[in-house]
Amino acid sequence: MHGMRRSALRHGLYARRSTTLGALLAICAGLFLVNGPTAQAAPPTPPSASTARSYLGALAVRAEGSSDGYSRDKFPHWSGQGGTCNTREVVLKRDGSNVVQDGSCAATSGSWYSPYDGATWYAASDVDIDHVVPLAEAWRSGASSWTTARREALANDLSIAQLIAVTDNVNQAKGDKDPAEWMPPRSAYHCTYARMWVWVKHQYGLSVDSAEKSRLGSVLSGC
């Protein structure tokens, strides 16, 4: 009789331990699903390296023009994209993970991985939306002669890889430099960045200077 009770007691302890272990495993699995890595959104995928090399070869090569007359106001940006959302807010949503927006479309939470430097941010205020081909660079490469409507199209173009969410101070360090003067700190992104840059210049018929073309050609040849 006592042996039966001890056996039943042991069985009950094992059952409770098994149940407890199962519950802990379920909780851990749930935490992984909630807090684990999620797919990172990104700008439209640029052309392949071989296509980018072809595009680069077709671009007009000439000395960079003057910045005289340039103003960011001549490239109206963060235009409305439907409802209360503007271009910046659309890119924040697209490039982030688990982004929550309020009624005015402002991002109130989420996370943003910056491929330029490999940093992850949890406040939209720490993120800039970079124009891959800076507006001032576009001005010096041919956009000075465009209509305002065409300049606005470049500044808000979501159909190509011209806009990307990145670490704010990295974007500020880039300024209006071209690839001969600046490349992302994270070298693993150089190939993608070069493909993006060439795609934008090809799409809008912008020129390249000789140093810029040489640097882009060197990067793309190693892709």
In this predicted structure, what is the pLDDT of residue 221? 97
Shared domain check, 162 and 74: yes
Shared domain check, 110 and 80: yes
174 in Cβ contact with 182 (< 8 Å): yes
Shared domain check, 119 and 24: no
Region 172-176 average pLDDT? 97
37 in Cβ contact with 211 (< 8 Å): no
Question: How far apart are the C-alpha atoms of 64 and 207, rounded to whole Å?
Answer: 8
Shared domain check, 65 and 107: yes
Shared domain check, 184 and 136: yes
Question: How far apart are the C-alpha atoms of 85 and 170, rounded to whole Å?
Answer: 25
- The 10s digit of each residue's pLDDT in 55-81 is 999 999 999 999 999 999 999 999 999
Indicate the length of the chain as a whole number. Answer: 223
Question: How far apart are the C-alpha atoms of 69 and 184, rounded to whole Å?
Answer: 28
DSSP SS3 for 136: helix
Shared domain check, 149 and 91: yes
Q: How many domains does the chain have?
A: 2
Shared domain check, 129 and 68: yes
Question: How far apart are the C-alpha atoms of 193 and 116, rounded to whole Å?
Answer: 9
127 strand-pairing partners = 167
Rg for the chain, CA atoms, rounded: 25
- The 10s digit of each residue's pLDDT in 83-95 is 999 999 999 999 9
Domain with 3, as residue range(s), is: 1-36
Shared domain check, 12 and 96: no
pLDDT tier for residue 101 given thresholds of 50, 70 and 90: very high
Question: How far apart are the C-alpha atoms of 11 and 8, rounded to whole Å?
Answer: 5
Shared domain check, 72 and 7: no
Shared domain check, 179 and 100: yes
Nearest CA among 182, 119, 120, 143 for reference residue 65: 143
Shared domain check, 59 and 20: no
Q: What is the mean pLDDT of the chain?
A: 86
pLDDT tier for residue 40 given thresholds of 50, 70 and 90: low
DSSP SS3 for 65: coil
Shared domain check, 79 and 22: no
Exposed / middle / buried, residue 14 (Cβ in 10 Å: 0-12, 13-18, 19+)? exposed
